[in-house]
Every structure is written in C-alpha cells, then in structure tokens.
Structure 1
Amino acid sequence: MADIATRRDPLDGVAPLTARSRLTIEAAPRGARLVLRGPDSAAVAAGQGFGLALPERLNTASTDGTRTAFKLGPDEWLLLAPENGEAEAYGAIEGAVDEPHSLVDVSPRNVGILVSGSLAADVLNFGVMLDLDLKAFPIGTATRTLFVKAEIVLWRKGLNDFHIEVWRSFAEYLHGQLEQAAREYVK
C-alpha cells in the first residue's frame, strides 16, 4: 500500500528562537486560510457563516481567539480558522453568501510566524518600513507590507505580540531574516 503524502510546513522542526524573556519567534499553529473578495454586503453574510463579523475598516482585524479576519483591501478579507477547518468554513460561507463573490482556500499557500516580547517591534522594524509605535500601529491593526523582500500580512495582536502571514515559499527566508534581526537587538 502506498504511503499518503502529508503536508510539511517549511518551519516544521525549526525550534522557536528565544532571547531571555524579551523576544520569542516561533511558528504559528497550523490553520485554515481563506480569501474572500466581494462587496461589503457579501462580507456581512460571510461573517455570519464564518461565525465572526468581518472587519469593516481597512487594515483592521477581528478575532474571537479561534477565528480571525483581516480586511486587507476595499473588497478583500483574509480569514483564519482552526486547522482542518477549511471545508467547514468554506461551506458555511458559501451557504451564507447569495451574491457574486470569490472565496478561495489558500491554506496550502500560507504559514504563520509569531513574534512576541518587548523587542518584537524593534526586531520587526529591521525589515518592515512601517512605524510600529503603538500610537501609529495600534492593537488590532493588520496590513499587507514587505519584510525585507518578502510580502507579508502583519497583525498586531497585543502590546508586544505580532502575527505574520507569509507565503510558504518565503517562510524560511523570513525566519532567517528575523533570526538575523534578533541577533542585532539581543547581545
């Protein structure tokens, strides 16, 4: 009998980077990822199906601790759900939305990286050209940007807690850049 292939994330087996209690960089738990494109009215219905109201303001996130939604464009949302929840979330959203829209499962494309600790914003500013001061980038902000040369979605989950979504083909590169930045700030 043939072995069934299992998905391997690029950061499987990579130990979390920690620097005392000031910085932790680790792979986020696996999860489902969907991209919704459509008008705001479709997003309202999709939120009902998804079980979480989708954010209305651009570059913001909403979460209930299990599911998360980012509004990344005027008609674009990235939705995160628990691992192996793609089919359930997809079916619930498709059943709730009755107007033209696009819903695509991008779970195999993305991986997440968590960066936390008092040095998190400094380390991220090594490669992100955004002002990550709390006043300029408050909790709940989520935006598409670049980290050095990799396109990412950056979400500020808490005062010193960030979540990065990145295409899996850039994950090892991004992790290496974060590791290099960490060495600059933790001596």
Structure 2
Amino acid sequence: MRSNALSPMRSSGTTAASATTLSILPDAAKLVFRGKTEAIEAAGAHFGVKPSLEACRFAAVGGRSVYWLGPDEWLFQAVNEDPIEVFGGMSVALQAQACSLVDVSHRSDGIAVAGPTAALVLNHGCPLDLSLKAFPVGMCTRTVLGKASLLLSRSEEHVFHVDVWRSFAPYVWQFLDEARSLS
C-alpha cells in the first residue's frame, strides 16, 4: 500500500470544546470510471455494488462503494484492497465496453468527520446546506472546504467522509481540527 499524507496526524477523540471526532480512513483502491449506462451496469456487476444512476448519490456493500460524480462518471472504492488487483479485474470485465477506467488510488486520502456537530464543523468552510434534509445519508458531491476541493459524502446521520487530494490533506485536517474548537 501507499504512505498516507495524513500519517503525521493522529485520529483524535472529542475535546471539551467539540463533540466531533476526526479520524483517518483506511487506504482504498480508487478507480474513476467513465461510460454510458450499459458500461456502468457491467462495471457494477463485476464490482459487486450497483452504482446509483441518481445524481449525487453513492451505494455501498461491505468495504466497497461507488460514488456518482457526474452524468457519466463514478468513483469505485474498495477499502483495504490492492489497487492493482481491483483495476486488473475491472479492466478484464470491461474489455467489451466503451468506457474509461483510471486508477487514482494514490491521489487522495480520506478523513471521517463524526459526531452531533459534524455538519457544523464542516460548514465552517463548506458552503453546502448539510442539514439531514438537504444532504441525506447516501448523498455525495464534489465541493470545497476552505481552499481545497474534495468529495464529501454522508454515510450516517452524524458521519461524513471527506476524500481530498493528498497535497491538501494536512490543510483540510488542520482546518477541521480548528473548526472543531469553534463549534
């Protein structure tokens, strides 16, 4: 596997000032897929997760998830799996499809933001309405936090996952850690 840009950071518990925790998510194989409906159905069948065709939604089964990124673009993620093996299997399964598959496993790191004030902490730098009604469980979108672009998803009512490019990961971690003290 790769070294995590957040390795100097440590998962942190709640503080007296905040009921929000930050934790580093495990490494994952990450593949960006682009293709039409027939190709995405074949990709999902091989991967074991039926991709959402609804905008800004994700589907998960076990340690595998598929995130809708655009009308013909998805992110396939397999936690604690070898990117070479996942990519190889997907490539073989999609040989007959007109599509694109790119391994981006080393591009980003993941941070979990959890607790009853998680949305408030994120809103210190994210312009989205993160209320449960506007951003329900199962939703994902590309957005910004401060000056960093990222993929934000909500896996549980009080749990958000941030997928951020490695070069911005320490900045995002520090931003979230400081925002926790203000919440």
Question: If the TM-score is normalised by the length of the shorter chain, which range does it land in?
Answer: over 0.9
C-alpha RMSD of matched pairs (Å): 1.4
Equivalent position of 1:124 in the other structure: 122
**Which secondary structure state, in structure 2, belongs to the residue aligned with residue 145 of structure 1?**
strand
| 1:13 corresponds to 2:8 | yes
Q: Partner of 1:99: helix, strand, or coil? A: coil
Indicate yes or no: 2:30 matched with 1:33.
yes
Q: Conserved in 2, the CA contact under 8 Å of 1:47 and 1:93?
A: no
Deviations along 1:49-98, one digit per CA (max 9) or x if unpaired, are: 11111111111000013100101100110111022431222122222222
- Same amino acid, percent of matched pairs: 41
Length-normalised TM-score, structure 2: 0.93
2:127 partner SS: coil
* Aligned position for 1:49: 46
Name which of 132, 135, 144 aligns with 1:134: 132
The separation in 1 between residues aligned to 2:118 and 2:2, in whole angstroms, is 29
SS in 2 for 1:18: coil
Residue identity opposite 2:77 in structure 1: L
Give the letter aligned to residue 158 of structure 1: E
- The answer for the alignment partner of 1:153 in structure 2 is 151
State the distance in 1 between where 2:154 and 2:143 align.
13
Contact 1:49 / 1:95 at 8 angstroms: preserved in 2? no
Q: Which residue of 2 is the match for residue 71 of structure 1?
A: 68
Contact 2:31 2:102 survives alignment (8 Å): yes
Secondary structure in structure 2 of the residue aligned to 1:130:
coil
Asked if structure 1 preserves the Cα contact closer than 8 Å seen for 2:137 and 2:154, the reply is yes
**Offset at residue 120 of structure 1 (A):** 0.4
1:109-134 alpha-carbon deviations (Å, 9 max, x no partner)? 11100000001000001111000000
Residue 89 of structure 2 aligns to a residue whose secondary structure is: helix
Once the two structures are superposed, residues 150-179 of structure 1 have per-residue CA deviations (whole angstroms, 9 ceiling, x without a partner) of 010000000001111000000001001101
Counterpart residue identity of residue 154, structure 1: L
Asked if 1 retains the 8 angstrom alpha-carbon contact of 2:48 and 2:61, the reply is no
Q: 2: distance between equivalents of 1:7 and 1:131?
A: 34
Instruction: State the AA in 1 paired with 2:145.
Output: F
CA distance in 1, matches of 2:173, 2:62: 24
The number of residue pairs the alignment matches comes to: 180
Structure 2: gaps (5+ residues): none
Q: Which amino acid aligns with 1:76?
A: E
Gaps of 5+ in 1: 1-5
